[in-house]
Structure 1
Amino acid sequence: MKAGVCLFLESFSLDSGEKIILEQLSHLRSLMARMNSEFIKFYKSNEYDCKLATMFYSTSPDMAWMMGQFYDMGKIDTLPMDCDNLLKIINSVPPVYNSRMLYMYNSIDNTIVTENRQSTVLNEKELVIICRNILDSFPSEYIEYGNSVKDIFKNLIFLENEEHPTFKTFNSMNKIKGGFENFIKGITEFLFVVNNYEVIPQDTFKNIKQMSALLRYELCEEGGKKSERKTGELDRDFKIGKTVYKDVNCEFHYKLSYKDGQFNKGTYYNDNRIYFGFFNRIDPLKPTIAIAHIGEHL
């Protein structure tokens, strides 16, 4: 199961003047640029374009140029149904069409037209919450899950470096002791929390302390075994675009100690880890959390 965000004429304040409409389109364009992916698709009905054109041309010929602004949004797929039937699906429980949960996009401060507020998406934060719930409610196998979290948690950097001889990807979730499928919610919770966390520049101690307070299990830097490791053993090379940033310290880790729903009452697992680092190579004043490994203890 994945997510779909649907556009309607009611998604915009079309009677509020050019300035407001352009601001709303700019916000949507930014959202789509970050979030449009395999997991999150943007949709419109098969009558959306016609209704939009009719509205603009009937209002004023001078507004016809605005149509170009709506087409310059990026990839929006067309569904084989009219607006009313699309809205019926969004208002249904669950709002599923072709293995996607559908939601209506709405501009901030615009009137909500769905029957339930939860059926409307206003911004990236709300969209990420929706996607987190889908990950938790509809488990997938570890490769698909790994691809999905990269689509959803855009404030994080995930290790993907196919050219590296050893450390090619963050995804070793198939090696989680006790079965990856039993730790999905714990992994998602960690990624959701750190995706929302604002890293404090050059203050590892405070970051670890504050992040720990937000999380269920133990989070720490490398402890007693650090002296037994080779220098740089937990450093990783992150490829971003065409640039490789070498030797990012990823000794910090989160312990996936219990299966989902068994916190402090089930079997304790000491061998499952999420390793990460604080990446500051691009902008030292805006560090990013870099996910190096999700899987077995290294």
Structure 2
Amino acid sequence: MLLRISFLLSFAAFSSFCFAQKDRPKGIEHVIVIGVDGLSPDGINKGKSPVLHDMIANGSVKWNVRTVLTSASSQNWASMIMGAGPEQHGIINNDWEIDKHTLPPIVQEKDGRFPTIFSIFQKANPKAEIGVVYHWDGFGRLFQKDAVNYDKRFGTEDSTATDFINYIKTKKPALGFVHFDHVDHAGHHGGHGSPEYYQSVAKADSLIGKILSGLKDAGIMDRTLVIVWADHGGLNKGHGGATPQEAEIAGIFYGKDVKKGYKIEQEVYTYDLASTIAFVLGVQQPYAWIGRPVKPAFEGLKEPENLWKSAK
């Protein structure tokens, strides 16, 4: 009897392992995340953005990814890389600092930060190349420094892109993350929906095109998943409120194993980004995370069976 129970348990564990492996897209060896601060769906649709539109036509998109509240930068960039919201990671506003905050994370690593996609991937794959290049210096305080091989901050969007492209070509990272801040600046200065704002989106689009070219030059485009994400949108010259213009962004998936021309139906939240990266790279996410991978973006994977349809 005991032998039979042991066999059944072993078979169940093996079946679960096989299902998990089968459930995951195959062949993705590199994940590149391009984060554009303040990039709204309106900006993509009304700005001059041929690269982004080509990525959407040849990839998968979710047009109304919901941010965490408030719709400001620190808590949303944190949620993107931490797979959880402010209630879990404790980063509730732009005043947050590692040594000055009111709400501690529900769990923390030795540096006091909530686990990020960088730290869990590095622990699972100690030899993996992981790099972050960012335009806004505030992004650099959100992740574990010992979890990345490369950590650089630059003062302009052009220098940020140039360095990140050079990093891709020289190191071919398994996980790379780049942050651009100039679109948010334009939103605050000229206003969302202004010519200045749309011009900044066009600039972001051109830089994204250069990154894609860099991936091709590095010889890894055919094994790479590229994700474009934002922290928030905007309304007039600001953001932070609970409106669709401020609290909804577009999530774009492009590259290896991604469905072409597909509009994702699954409800998606900004903290699902980290969960999706963990999913495609085969890393188990911490129980403290609340994010879920956006599986239907990938070939062979379906929308959730219990997807809730809004009443009409």
TM tier relative to shorter chain: under 0.3
TM-score for the superposition, normalised by structure 2: 0.26
TM-score for the superposition, normalised by structure 1: 0.27
| More relative contact order, 1 or 2 (CA 8 Å, 6+ apart) | 2
More helix by share: 2
Larger radius of gyration: 1
More strand by share: 1
